[in-house]
Amino acid sequence: KLQFLYLIGVDGGGRDTGPAQYTMLSFLLMLFGCAAVLLLACWRARKELDAEASGRGGAAPEDLVFVDSRAALAMPVLASVGLVAMYLVGTLFWGVVAAYSVVSLYTVPFVMRPRGGSGRWVDCPRLTAAALVLVWLWTGHWVVHDVLVACLVATMLCLVRVDNLRSAALLLAGLAAYDVFWVFFSKRVVGEGVMVSVATAHAGRLHTPGALLFPIDAKGTMQLLGAGDLAFPGIAIVTLLRYDFFHNANFDYTAAALAGWLLGMTVCNFALDVTHASQPALIYLAPGTLLPPLVAAWWRGDAAKVFWGWEERGGDEGGTLLAAMDV
């Protein structure tokens, strides 16, 4: 039994969650699980930064995906095309499962092993990845499912970079509008909730890849948390992590963004419980992620650097982050 909580919201008829105490425990499980995924991504991104700063490697330019303002504005359109394609062609579910399985053979070793490790195909991280994929395909267990999604999110946040926080803000604003349309208005266009249909697709034990699963009750009811609502705010968080790495040893802006994301998630859950209606989560998570670090930066006089770009290395050894995007 599935109820879609995060990108879409609680199922329109409400939730069968058992006693109130267990409902709170299930919410805390989801909240701490999401926090663990974001912290894993930050930890892995920090290892990349350490490798880059020490000259020991880090991500090669050809492995990185750079997102500027124009690409950020185009993302909601591309996401809508992909969503509609999956809605219209139901057989794409198995194509997504196959692609997700193959991608996991890269993302799990990426998270487990720093760059510069063994280049052999047969090694512990890759064997672990293969075992996890096989267990997921065979059992569909939610814990294995979530481990694979967590590795996917962490890898994405290491390899996708924006030129400044402005581009991250544009990306989040556009995707929040995307959320609002496909959650609230798609029924008026096609007669049913497109995102609900796609997000809750499943076959046997397998559920939609790209969404975290959390149990609500002992009956097997699951709440789904879209990975995009971790990954896209996570792009802003990791961008602030890069700033903190070079200019703020206390990592205050990163901590503020993480705390804001958790606050936004809490407010989103509160709105779901009050309205018993679907909620586009990014309208809560985007301001929650961006406003606390921007207010802190304004208070310290760093707002222009944080928002528009900054120097990652001083002197003649490097340039601005924006210049680095041209590598």
- DSSP H or E stretch at residue 212: strand 211-215
Q: Whose CA is closest to 293, among 284, 302, 285?
A: 302
72 contacts 113 by C-beta, under 8 angstroms:
no
Q: Is 302 a catalytic residue?
A: no
| Helix-, strand-, coil-residue percentages of the chain, each rounded to 5 | 70, 10, 25
16: helix, coil or strand? Answer: coil
Distance separating alpha carbons of residues 28 and 72, to the nearest angstrom: 32
Structure letter (DSSP) for residue 164: S
218 φ, ψ (degrees, to nearest 5): -75, -5
**The one catalytic residue among 11, 229, 244, 302:** 229
Distance (Å, rounded) from C-alpha 327 to C-alpha 320?
A: 12
* Active-site hit among 11, 163, 179, 302: 179
Token digits of residue 117: 């490790």
Is residue 179 among the annotated active site residues?
A: yes
Half-sphere exposure of 157 (CA within 13 A, CB side): 35
**Separation CA 244–CA 222 (nearest Å):** 37
Task: Give the residue from 239, 214, 235 showing the smallest Cα distance to 224.
Answer: 214
Q: Are strands 211-215 and 202-203 parallel, antiparallel or unpaired?
A: unpaired
- Per-position DSSP letters for 21-72, written without gaps between them: HHHHHHHHHHHHHHHHHHHHHHHHHHHHHHHHHHTS--S-GGG-EEE-HHHH
Tally of residues, the chain: 327
Q: For residue 83, give both structure tokens.
A: 């969503």
- Could you give the residue numbers annotated as active site? 179, 229
